[in-house]
Amino acid sequence: MNLRFAVLTRSLAMLLAASALAGCMSTHPPLGMPNDSVIGFSSEDGGRALAPQCDELNQPSHMLDAGRARPGVAFGCATYSNLAAMLARPADLVAPLPYAGADATLGAGAVRAYEEGRTQALKPTSTTTSVSH
């Protein structure tokens, strides 16, 4: 009987905790979050990616702080701005190269070379050594 009571008590506690946490999630996340299409492309200078206009991504806040509206948040602005800055081949945004598929022979050769000890050790660089200030 004690085991049954313990199981029932644990189940009831978990149910109460779940219902209490459900109150924290009273609203759904905003719909219409941006996707990667907000990154622009300019064919000038050999092609470059353009960071999105953050004002267009702004989601107004519906919260008040002492009667004043809080500022909105531009969801995705920093992420897509950084992605636009890091693209190695910006033309892939408008005309991506087709996927050529995996090269099993090349991969197997690399594994075989490693297993047979035919690989070279990495050269030491200043980023792999300790830095003293």
Beta strands in the chain (DSSP E): 40-42, 48-50, 58-59, 64-65, 68-69, 73-74
pLDDT along the chain (133 residues), means of 10: 61 55 51 72 83 83 76 82 85 84 92 93 70 61
38/123 Cα distance (integer angstroms): 40
State pTM to two decimals.
Answer: 0.44
Q: Are 74 and 55 in contact (CB under 8 A)?
A: yes
Contacting residues for 72 by C-beta, under 8 A, at least 6 apart: 58, 59, 60, 61
> Given this model, what pLDDT does residue 112 score?
96
Indicate the length of the chain as a whole number: 133
The pLDDT score that the predictor gives to residue 29 is 47
